[in-house]
Amino acid sequence: TTYPNDINRLNAPFLTMFESLIPPNEEKVKQKQLLTVLEKLVSKEYPEARLFLYGSCANSFGFSKSDIDVCLAMELQNVDKSDILLKLADIFESNNLQNVQALTRARVPIVKLMDPVTGISCDICINNVLAVVNTKLLRDYAQIDVRLRQLVFIVKHWAKSRQVNETYHGTLSSYAYVLMCIHFLQQRRPAILPCLQGMETTYFANVDNVECAYFDQVEKLHNYGSRNGESIAQLVWAFFHYWAYCHDYANDVISVRTGRTLSTTMIKYLVRCSKRAKDWTRRVGNDRHLICIEDPFEVSHDLGRVVDKFSIRVLREEFERAAQIMHYDSNPCVTLFEPY
């Protein structure tokens, strides 16, 4: 990799930016407080139900002042999820929570609300246990090397500023960007992150017939990336360089699960042997292989499925723009994040 000579001048401003985006401790306290309030309200109606935080408020990649994602785990015996969501909406509304709304027809049905005491908004879904488990995987990766958290914050901040973090417009979710960053750090030589799912199993969960197994004793991996001395400025430069000029969009699948890049050709082959990957076949058939990001546990789930032939151009142009700025601009810490 050939960074510009003076790339390290950007370390200090990138780190300052990272620090300014991290939620302060009192915000975390308020989130827990709200969770306790919700738990009390829910348990009056459903005593066995449990609430879990997931998404960016729990995976350590959350910005200050973001909404929180809550998963309600309970056994459903012939009860409709929609009915429960409507019931919950009733309970919340009559207990002074604001902007309560049940979205029963969404891809992931939820009830939304805002707590006037803490000012926090939240989305509550039911039994999305896989999301709770992948949240833990992301949080565990973040504890191995601080550069992952720094890189993700900068990439997410860039994606939000440039409006390429909007799945309803065909660009990528925050979750997809985190997987891209983990994959990228797994590929550095020497590697900065290991492949936890390729190591001894110390954590196991079977969720909706998906086996989730990986090495979660990450405190033992604190020095893992220390043989690689790349700075955050160098990594941001290389990340955008990779997505602008090195990634084979038509043939490569990003796979954090294997710590490697898989080929779509190989996946087509695997499809013939397994039913699991059937969603990918359809995509291969439709030639909609525009960017492929494998979910670490739900391997038939492609986080790039939202991308279409228009938004892929937007995305790739933004990666190229970012790469050019990192290479040539005199003030990338400003230009990179200029609102679209």
Where does this chain bind Mg ion (CB under 5 A)?
55-56, 69
Contact flags string 57-76 toward ligand GTP, x per CB under 6 A:
--x--xx--x--x-------
Looking at 135, 186, 197, 255, which residue binds ligand GTP (CB under 6 A)?
Answer: 135
**Secondary structure (3-state) at 315:** helix
CB of 56 to Mg ion, least distance (A): 5
**Residues paired with residue 122 on neighbouring β-strands, in sequence order:** 68, 113
Q: Is 55 in the site for ligand GTP (CB under 6 A)?
A: yes
In this complex, which beta carbon is closest to ligand GTP, that of residue 40 or of residue 65?
A: 65
**φ, ψ for residue 259, nearest 5 deg:** 70, 20
User: Tokens in use for 188?
Assistant: 């550095």
Residues with Cβ within 8 Å of 96's Cβ and at least 6 positions away in sequence, in order, are 116
In this complex, which beta carbon is closest to ligand GTP, that of residue 57 or of residue 238?
A: 57
CA-based torsion, 19, 156, 12, 337: positive or negative: negative
**CB of 144 within 8 A of CB of 218?**
yes
> Which residue, judged by CB position, is nearest to ligand GTP in the bound state?
55
Among ligand GTP, Mg ion, none, partner that 131 touches (CB below 5 to 8 angstroms by kind): ligand GTP
Looking at 11, 101, 104, 173, which residue binds ligand GTP (CB under 6 A)?
Answer: 173
**Strands 252-255 and 292-293, how do they pair?**
parallel
Of the candidates 94, 103, 142, the one whose C-alpha atom is nearest the C-alpha of residue 123 is 103
CB of 93 to Mg ion, least distance (A): 23
Size of the site for ligand GTP (CB under 6 A): 15
Considering only CA atoms, give the Rg of the chain.
21
Report angle CA 190, 192, 194 to the nearest 5 degrees: 100
Q: Is 31 in the site for ligand GTP (CB under 6 A)?
A: no
Among ligand GTP, Mg ion, none, partner that 54 touches (CB below 5 to 8 angstroms by kind): ligand GTP
Say how many Å lie between the first and final Cα of the chain, rounded. 29
State the Cα–Cα distance between residues 111 and 93, nearest whole angstrom: 11
Of the candidates 141, 214, 167, the one whose C-alpha atom is nearest the C-alpha of residue 308 is 167
Of the candidates 107, 81, 88, 78, the one whose C-alpha atom is nearest the C-alpha of residue 38 is 88
Q: Which span (95-103, 129-137, 179-187, 193-201) binds ligand GTP, by CB under 6 A?
A: 129-137
CB of 37 to Mg ion, least distance (A): 19
Stretch 299-328 residues interacting with ligand GTP (CB under 6 A): 303
Q: Could you tell me how many residues make up the chain?
A: 340
In this complex, which beta carbon is closest to Mg ion, that of residue 4 or of residue 109?
A: 109
Contact flags string 80-119 toward ligand GTP, x per CB under 6 A:
----------------------------------------
CB of 201 to Mg ion, least distance (A): 28
**CB of 75 within 8 A of CB of 52?**
no
Looking at 31, 118, 127, 134, which residue binds ligand GTP (CB under 6 A)?
Answer: 134
Q: Is 225 in the site for ligand GTP (CB under 6 A)?
A: no
**Which residues of the chain form contacts with ligand GTP (CB under 6 A)?**
54-56, 59, 62-63, 66, 69, 131, 134-135, 173-175, 303
